Chains A and B, each alone.
Chain A
Amino acid sequence: MAFAASNPVMPTALKILIAGGFGVGKTTMVGSVSEVPPLETEERMTVASVGLDSLAGIENKSATTVAMDFGRITIAPELVLYLFGTPGQHRFWFMWDDLALGALGAVVLADTRRLEQCFASVDYFEKRGTPFAVGINCFHGKREWTTEQVRKALDLGPDTPVMLCDARDRESSKKVLLALLDVARAHALARTASIPGV
């Protein structure tokens, strides 16, 4: 068997998900921190029956393929982080388990003009116990809602960061990612503390 578990040149790959509704800026956020322009790939779905949502006219295509955008950050020669923009619609839920498997956590990008579009992502990550942070993308320059209003509307606990961001701006995207990783770190600390005898 050619698996390279002990090969020193093989890095470890990790991932963070960037979730949220259609057109909320997921690819933009990936691109703002990635060392390569966002790449796109698609996976063919073999599930025949999927839920339809309001995006009329694209059912034929999206019922058979799901497109994903992603980028890469080389943290160290032996540690590579991938950022995946997730397909946000209901109909793609069946593939999220593969996408979410082993993720350090997720950023849920929200657009206050269409806040309901991120409900599904928030639900999913809460149920799965995946660490996440909510970024309110203010790319349209309007801050009609406060972070506290969004927190209330999404029914989020005090431990989930909610912050304003500009997905085009690297420093702004870094802040959201670091807020998410703070949550992931707290989860990891809690796990360590709960192991008896450690």
Chain B
Amino acid sequence: MPDRQWSDAEGVGHHVRPYAITGGRTRHSEHSFALITLVVTRSPDGFGGESVEPEAAAILDICRDRAVAIAEIAAELDLPVSVVKVLCGDLLNSELILVQAPPKESDAPSVELIERVMDGIRRL
């Protein structure tokens, strides 16, 4: 396994531990997530007997009550976004979370969708 902890002597500090959590991975090999990919924990209680790392358990906790964006999880746990993406990739493989990717670039937003957003902003 490549040891990326020491690859950037100037950038260490609090970055050492986040990437130690992912076993040195800076991206997931199978899944890619956007900043606003939404995450929901599949099982409302417990992990079905599977043991997960504390950070992964924290993600499952955060995403239990509502769909939470990758960026929100990262802010809440004070972890870099890329670390959260790796952890969520693992949780997805373990079928512990559901994810919803945002509309693709090719799915340009409809007039109706934009008008719904406008109505929502007017109501603020």
Question: With the chains together, A34 CA to B34 CA distance in Å?
Answer: 20
A68–B108 alpha-carbon span in the complex (Å): 24
* Chain B residue contacts of A84, Cβ below 8 A: 35, 71
Task: Report the interface size class on chain A.
Answer: 35 or more
B1, CB-defined interface residue at 8 Å = no
- Expressed in whole angstroms, the minimum distance between the Cβ of B91 and any Cβ of chain A is 9
- B81 / chain A contacts, CB cutoff of 8 Å: 41-43
Which residues of A are found within 8 Å of B72, using beta-carbon distances?
39, 70, 72
Size category of the B interface is: 35 or more
Residue A13 at the chain B interface, CB threshold 8 Å: yes
Task: Give the residue of B15, B38, B98, B121 whose beta carbon is less than 8 angstroms from that of A178.
Answer: B121
Chain A, range 1-59, C-beta contacts under 8 Å to B = 2-5, 7, 9-15, 33, 39-44, 46
The distance in angstroms between the C-alpha atoms of A84 and B80, with both chains bound, is 16
Partner of A44, one of B82, B92, B108, B115: B82
Q: Which of A9, A170, A184 is close to B109, meaning CB atoms less than 8 Å apart?
A: A184
Please tell me if the beta carbons of A3 and B109 are within 8 angstroms of each other in the complex. Answer: no
Residue of B34, B102, B110, B119 touching A188 (CB-CB under 8 A): B110
A-B residue pair count with CB separations less than 8 angstroms: 157
Q: Are A102 and B102 in contact (CB under 8 A)?
A: yes
Q: Is the CB of A99 within 8 A of B35?
A: yes
What residue of chain A has the Cβ atom nearest to residue B8's Cβ? Answer: A64
Whether, in the assembled complex, B99 has its beta carbon less than 8 Å from a beta carbon of chain A, the answer is yes
Query: Contacts of A12 on B, CB cut-off 8 Å?
Result: 100, 102-103
Contact (Cβ within 8 A) B98 A3: yes
Give B27 Cβ to nearest chain A Cβ, in Å: 9
Chain A 86-103 per-residue mask, 1 if CB under 8 angstroms from chain B, else 0: 000000000000110110
Instruction: Using known A-B contacts A2-B99, A174-B124, determine if residue A98 contacts B114 with beta carbons closer than 8 Å.
Output: no
Chain A CB within 8 A of B116 CB: yes
B100 contacts A13, CB within 8 Å? yes
Q: How far is the CA of A139 from the CA of B93 in the complex (A)?
A: 48
Seen from chain A, the residues whose Cβ lies within 8 Å of a Cβ on chain B are: 2-5, 7, 9-15, 33, 39-44, 46, 60, 63-65, 68, 70, 72-73, 75-76, 79-82, 84, 98-99, 101-102, 104, 170, 174, 177-178, 181-182, 184-185, 187-189, 191-192
Q: List 4 tightest A-B contacts by C-beta distance, closest first.
A: A75-B120, A4-B98, A39-B75, A64-B11
Ordered by A's residue number, 6 sampled pairs between the chains whose C-beta atoms are within 8 Å are: A12-B100, A13-B69, A44-B26, A80-B38, A101-B34, A178-B121
